[in-house]
Amino acid sequence: MQFFKGRGNTVAEMHGVGQNLAGPNGERIGMTMAQARVARRDCRAGRNLWRGMAVCTARGTRHVELVFSIPGYDGPLDSLPSARDLEEARLQRIVWKAQS
């Protein structure tokens, strides 16, 4: 787990990168988007360090994001990869954001 400080010395985000962690619907690092039952419509294109990745909202949540990368992806980095490319996407990180 990685913790990122927020305002007033609180935790703003927690990032899970280990295989022992599970997301709110049982998502595990290394799962494909299909295994995690994530739809492309629930995703946006990643920015900055996550360029070329899909950042998706976990089913039934507003404060948990799932970050998927595509091994060997060489397509556009500033837009969401195609549905076909996303078939190969693997979960890399689970991000819990503090509720505001």
What's the pLDDT at 98? Answer: 85
| Least confident residue range of 5-14, 50-59, 81-90 | 5-14
What domains lie within the chain, and their CATH numbers? Answer: 15-97 (2.60.460.10)
Longest dimension (CA), the chain: 43
Q: Is the pLDDT of residue 52 over 70?
A: yes
Residue 63, pLDDT above cutoff 80:
yes
Q: Provide the total of helices (H) and of strands (E) in the chain, helices listed first.
A: 1, 6
pLDDT of residue 100: 59
Q: Mean pLDDT score of the chain, rounded to an integer?
A: 89
- Using a 10 angstrom Cβ sphere, with 0-12 exposed, 13-18 middle and 19 or more buried, the burial of residue 80 is buried
What span, in angstroms and rounded, lies between the C-alpha atoms of 51 and 44?
11
**Angle value at C-alpha 93, between 45 and 13, nearest 5 degrees:** 90
Whether the pTM exceeds 0.75: the reply is: yes
Give residue 53's pLDDT: 92
Cβ pair 56, 65 in contact under 8 A: yes
pLDDT score for 61: 92
The pLDDT-based confidence of 71 (bands split at 50, 70, 90) is confident
Per-residue DSSP letters for 60-76? T-SSEEEEEE-TT--S-
